Each structure stands twice: as structure tokens, then as C-alpha cells.
Amino acid sequence: MASLLERVGVLISANVNWLVTQALKANSMAVIDEYIRRIEDNLEALEDAAATVGGEVKTLRRKQEEYQAKADELDRNIDLFLQQNKEQLAVAAQSRYNTFKRLADSYREQCEAQEREYQKLLDAKLKLEAKLTEIRQERVELQAKLELARSKELTHKVVEGVSGVTSADAGLAAMREEIQKRLDKAAAQGEIDASRLDNQMAEVLEEHTIKVQLEERRKRLGLAS
């Protein structure tokens, strides 16, 4: 019985906040669920022990009352025998009275001791039930915290995924920009080349015009070859 009350005492004195912290660190309900399982197991053991001790209290009280009743009857008989000068009967009755009285006192002491034990068990049961209620409430809150944490983690992963896509888009945009720059450069180079060709053509045409003009001038001067 003492070992049971010691185990229960350890469970009752357990720091619930510490248990919740450990569960949060482990990101698991296992710590809390194990504690709840131990409480439930010990509650069952407490109830069984309390029922057993309570039954013993009833038995001891019944026996104490039986022997006390016999002792009380003998006590009255002893007075009667003495009043009737029945010495031998009074001696025998006194002897039996002493035995019954001793048994009645013994059962009363045992009954009182068991009643104290029974009360300890009932008190421990009440405290453990209160602890169980507390930890169950903490479990509900802890479950909500863990679900919120998982939700935030999932949101973080989604955001990271979107950031990755955004980064890829940014890379593609940079690539498109670079290609456009190359195209612009090529177009500009084409314009330069075209300008150079136009200049060459213009120079050739201008040279031809000048020759024609000079030839006409020679004819006018009579210098034609």
C-alpha cells in the first residue's frame, strides 16, 4: 500500500509545465499520453485498494461491535452475579469479559488504522483525479499548439516554394533581358553596317557623277579625248 501511495505521490507532484515543455520540444504528444496512462493505471489501482481497505474497515468494525456487545453483556452479568453472591460465576464472567474487551479494543485499533489508510487512499484518489483533469486540459491546449506549429511550418514551406518560383522567374527575366540586350546590340550593329554600305554606295555614285560632269566639261572645252 505504501508503494502505491508513493507512486501516486510522485504523479501528483509532477510538474505539468515541464511535461508540456518536453512534449513541445519533442513535437510529440507521447510524453503527455504516457503520463496520462500512468495516472489512469494508478487511479485504477487506487480504486481497487480503496475498495479492499474499505471492505476491511467494515469487517473490523463489525467484529469490534460484536465483541464490544458481548463485553457489555458480560459487564452487566458480572454486576448481577456479584449482587447475587455468585462469586465463581462472577470470576468466570470477568475472565471472559477481559478476553472480549481485549478483542474489541484490538479490532477497534485495527479499524481506526484502516480507516486512516482508507482516508489516505480516498484523498490520493481525489488529488490524482484533479491532476488527471489538469493534464487532460493541458493536452488539449498542447495539441492545439502543435497543430498551429505544424500549420506554420507548412506555410513556411509553401512560402519558400513560392520564393523559389519567384527566384526562378527572376532568373528567367534576367535571361530574357540579357537576350534582349544582345538582340539590341545586334540590331545596332546591323544599322551601323547598313550605314557603312550606304556611305560606300553614296561615295561610288558621287564619284561617277563627278566623272560625268568632268567629261561634259571637257567636251564643252573641246578637250574631249
Instruction: Count Cβ neighbours within 10 Å for each residue of 135-158 and write b for 16 or more, e otherwise.
Output: beebbeebeeeeeeeeeeeeeeee
Residues 38/39/41/47 CA torsion (nearest 10 deg): 160
Give the dihedral sign, CA 207/213/218/221: negative
φ/ψ region of 222 (left if φ > 0, alpha if ψ in -120 to 50, else beta) reads left
| Helix, strand, coil percentages in the chain from 3-state DSSP, rounded to 5 | 95, 0, 5
Chain CA centroid to CA 143, Å: 5
Reported pTM: 0.60
Are the C-beta atoms of residues 146 and 21 closer than 8 Å to each other? no
**Structure-block grid coordinates of residue 80:** 448481577
Q: Which residue has the cell 567636251?
A: 219
Domain ranges of the chain: 2-162
DSSP 87: H
Are the C-beta atoms of residues 64 and 108 closer than 8 Å to each other? yes
Q: How many CA atoms lie within 13 A of 60 on its CB side?
A: 18
In tens digits, the chain (225 residues) has pLDDT values of 668 888 888 888 888 888 888 888 888 888 889 999 999 999 999 999 999 999 999 999 999 999 999 999 999 999 999 999 999 999 999 999 999 999 999 999 999 999 999 999 999 999 999 999 998 998 888 888 888 777 776 665 655 655 555 555 666 777 778 777 877 777 777 777 666 666 666 676 677 787 777 777 778 787 765
Instruction: Express each pLDDT in 110-154 by its tens digit.
Output: 999 999 999 999 999 999 999 999 989 988 888 888 887 777 766
